[in-house]
């Protein structure tokens, strides 16, 4: 090992790379492995992570009641359940914006992955578009629009993603939060904390199947162009809410396109705009 590298602080370019990895919600264990491969000592890596770790707590700043809920526009409807905070928002995006995103997404697809292991190869069979890494003006504008619609600043969010489901593709029942103490939590949540709000927008409706089902409360939502489905993954005490279990049912005709943005417990600066 190069001792000079091991004891030196991280190169500014590597600090920027780590900062971006933290911002979009990447697996931080992979970042550590890469820095070790480059010859950096664990003490140096830990110091860099500590320097980049956000200090703002969304729960201390009222994440359970973001500005969208306070404004309560006519297009926002709360689902009738005491088990979780679950809402629909009509016209979150215009048909034109949905079309722009659709064109972009279809050119940047990869097989969807899971943050936790499962022997079931059919558990998640969609394709994903990592819009957050494209630096596309369309993607950046949509990311900002979602943040401003919910009222939570991007510093408390992950990068935006899209998913495409073709005929037969699905995502079986799962939670968006990371179970504390799990390997997935260690990888994805030790720096930014758990996922608070999920904000998902349907980009099309011309399909059969493809509904989003909340399995523990038996509520079903059929895709509608431009409609957002949003829910809080955590309880008031910041613990995971099992009632948020949901699935993307198999598409039986056509295809389904959605964009998804997740918000996190820890970020920098004020939570709200």
* Domain residue spans of the chain: 3-53, 57-267
Q: What is the Cα–Cα distance from 171 to 148, expressed in whole angstroms?
A: 28
Q: What is the Cα–Cα distance from 62 to 41, expressed in whole angstroms?
A: 38
- Phi/psi at 55 (5° precision): -115, -10
Q: What is the Cα–Cα distance from 2 to 231, expressed in whole angstroms?
A: 48
Which class in CATH covers the domain with range 57-267? mainly beta
Residue 246's beta-bridge partner residues?
A: 174, 214
- Residue 122's pLDDT band (boundaries 50, 70, 90)? very high
Tens digits of residue pLDDT in 10-33? 889 999 999 999 999 999 999 999
DSSP state of 124: B
- Residue 6's pLDDT band (boundaries 50, 70, 90)? low
Q: What is the CA radius of gyration of the chain?
A: 19
pLDDT at residue 191 above 80?
yes
Q: What is the Cα–Cα distance from 24 to 176, expressed in whole angstroms?
A: 15
From the list 44, 13, 31, 51, the residue with the least C-alpha distance to 188 is 31
Check residue 4 and give its pLDDT.
52
């Amino acid at each position: 090992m190069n001792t000079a590298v091991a004891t030196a602080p991280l190169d500014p370019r590597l600090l920027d790379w780590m900062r971006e990895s933290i911002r979009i919600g990447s697996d931080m264990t992979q970042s550590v492995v890469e820095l070790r491969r480059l010859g950096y000592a664990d003490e140096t890596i830990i110091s860099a992570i500590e320097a980049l770790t956000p200090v703002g707590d969304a729960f201390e700043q009222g994440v359970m009641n973001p500005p969208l809920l306070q404004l309560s526009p006519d297009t926002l409807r709360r689902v009738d359940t005491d088990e979780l905070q679950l809402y629909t928002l009509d016209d979150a995006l215009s048909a034109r914006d949905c079309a722009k995103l659709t064109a972009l997404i279809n050119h940047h697809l990869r097989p969807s992955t899971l943050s936790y292991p499962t022997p079931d190869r059919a558990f998640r069979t969609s394709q994903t578009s990592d819009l957050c890494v494209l630096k596309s003006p369309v993607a950046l504008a949509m990311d900002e629009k979602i943040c401003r619609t919910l009222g939570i600043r991007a510093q408390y969010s992950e990068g935006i993603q899209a998913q495409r489901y073709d005929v037969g593709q699905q995502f079986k029942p799962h939670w968006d939060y990371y179970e504390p103490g799990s390997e997935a939590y260690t990888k994805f949540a030790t720096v930014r904390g758990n996922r608070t709000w999920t904000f998902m927008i349907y980009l099309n409706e011309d399909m059969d199947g493809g509904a989003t089902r909340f399995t523990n409360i038996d509520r079903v939502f059929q895709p509608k162009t431009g409609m957002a489905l949003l829910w809080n993954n955590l309880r008031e005490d910041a613990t995971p809410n099992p009632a948020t279990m949901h699935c993307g049912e198999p598409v039986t005709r056509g295809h389904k396109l959605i964009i998804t943005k997740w918000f996190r417990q820890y970020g920098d600066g004020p939570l709200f705009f």
